[in-house]
Structure 1
């Protein structure tokens, strides 16, 4: 297993829609994180800056909450323990119901 160089960083962009945008106060947050950081690490960083989002995206076990749709790079479901790569974009929204 290869370990990430502690001096390396990745830049990711988190996009918030619906109630999450209101909680964060902005649509897009760009973060520089240590290489090997997970989506959970990124969300913890966002919660430090925007306490209103605390508990809205991750549950008590640190998993993406039920009812939250997290999509990585537009089409891949993202989980809290997924490692992020440089340039990743993760969008957060709620599923749309209707008929």
Structure 2
């Protein structure tokens, strides 16, 4: 499963695309855990002290927020799904 990372999260990892070893039927939470296990340097940027997503971090599963449009960490993944992780974005 591939994650797309944006802005400083991509800079932290050194790549905009990161593949993690989870297959179809895995959950969004398992894919997130696999990403953070593979790149522990992201953990403090993405999770708070309670291991919950920081308020300013946005995640997408096929263009939707799995915590709004799905079952949160329990959202089931399928082959070809898109996962993305965003820091806060501002513009002007």
Name which of 61, 83, 99 aligns with 2:76: 83
RMSD, matched Cα: 2.1
TM-score with structure 1 length normalisation?
A: 0.69
Write out aligned runs for 1:51-70 (5 A): 51-70=40-59
TM-score (structure 2 length as normaliser): 0.73
Comparing both structures, which one devotes a greater share of its residues to helix? Answer: 2
Residue in 2 aligned with 1:93?
A: 86
Asked if the contact 1:13–1:31 (Cα under 8 Å) also holds between the matched residues in 2, the reply is yes
Name whichever structure is richer in strand by fraction: 1
Structure 1 gaps of 5+ residues are 1-11
Larger Rg: 1
Q: 1:16 maps to what in 2?
A: 5
Contact 1:16 1:26 (8 Å CA) reproduced: yes
The count of aligned residue pairs is 87
In structure 2, runs of 5+ residues without a counterpart are none
